[in-house]
Structure formats: C-alpha cells, structure tokens
Amino acid sequence: MDETAGQVDEARSPRLPPRWFVRTAWVVHRAMYRVTGGRRGLWRPRPDRWGTLVLRTTGRRTGQEREAIVAYMEDGPNLVTLAMNGWAAPEPAWWLNLQAHPEATVVLKDGSRAVRARAAAGAERERLWSEYRKLGKDLDGFATRRPTETAVVVLEPRG
C-alpha cells in the first residue's frame, strides 16, 4: 500500500501505544519544555533523526495564540513537518489553524523565526515524504492508520 493513495490497510499498520499513553506523553513533553524555561524539550534534527520545535499558530476560531511541539526536518531554508496527530484520524488542530492563518512563528533550539505554512504537493510532496521515511521507522505503515493522506507541511521563512 502506498501512503499517497490515502488507503487504509490495518493489516500492515504497526502497533501504536494506546491513545491515552500518546496524549500523556505529549502533555509531559510540553510540561518539561515549560518547567525548564525551554532548556529541555527541543532539539535540532540530525541526518538520522528529526528535531522538535514549538509551533505558534493563530486559533482559527478564537484568534488566540496556540502552541504545539512538533517534529521537523530541514529542507534548505524550509522546515518540514507532518500533520499526523499521533497517527489518529482527525487532522491536528495546529494544521487546521495554519490552513486558516498560514503565518506562524516557530521556536527552535537556537531561536525563533517567522514562517508561512503550506502543504507540499506533487513531486515536492513525494520527495519530502521520501526524506521523512528515512527518519521514521515504518512511516508508510503508520500512515495507513489515517483515512486520508497525511499532509506534508512546509514552513517557509517569512522575510
């Protein structure tokens, strides 16, 4: 099964921890970042591993600032992440927010920057998915848990 087809093949899908465990891990990660004043919880990507960043979006309904910690990789000056919501079916709130308000801010281990978000498409999406596949064990298998294609989100620097 090819993830780009957006088909679900539960037989090939790798095992995930229970949803409560995944959500608890997110809460603990955010708490660690906040309690340490940002000294822990973010890291730069390496050739064999993704990094983490804080993504600050504008809420699509409230207009208030929202924060999420997401994994990313670098693609030249761009940062790239996957809108996967822990491989659950719904789109992550941060991605829905970015679709409504694409301008955002990211906080990296070494500082922050203004970005504009967009979904990669076509050959660019295929290339970036292939690069992400090198960083995540069984990425295609996990993607089969979602009923729709997982968006590859490109965060381009705003000048």
- Which pLDDT value is given to residue 127? 98
The more confident residue out of 21 and 139 is: 139
Through-space distance between the first and last CA atoms of the chain, rounded to whole angstroms: 40
- pLDDT of 149 reads 92
pLDDT of residue 145: 82
The predicted pLDDT at position 3 comes to 46
Residue 13 pLDDT level (bands cut at 50, 70, 90): low
Rounded Cα distance between 13 and 131, Å, is 20
Across-strand partners of 145?
A: none
* Coil, helix or strand at residue 55: strand
pLDDT for position 12: 61
User: 95-107 pLDDT, tens per residue?
Assistant: 999 999 999 999 9
CA–CA distance from 82 to each of 32, 62, 69, 72 (Å)? 22, 24, 12, 8
What is the reported pTM?
0.83
The residue among 98 and 31 whose pLDDT is bigger is: 98
pLDDT attached to residue 31: 72
What's the mean pLDDT in 118-143?
A: 91
In this structure, the number of other CB atoms found within 10 A of the CB of residue 110 comes to 8
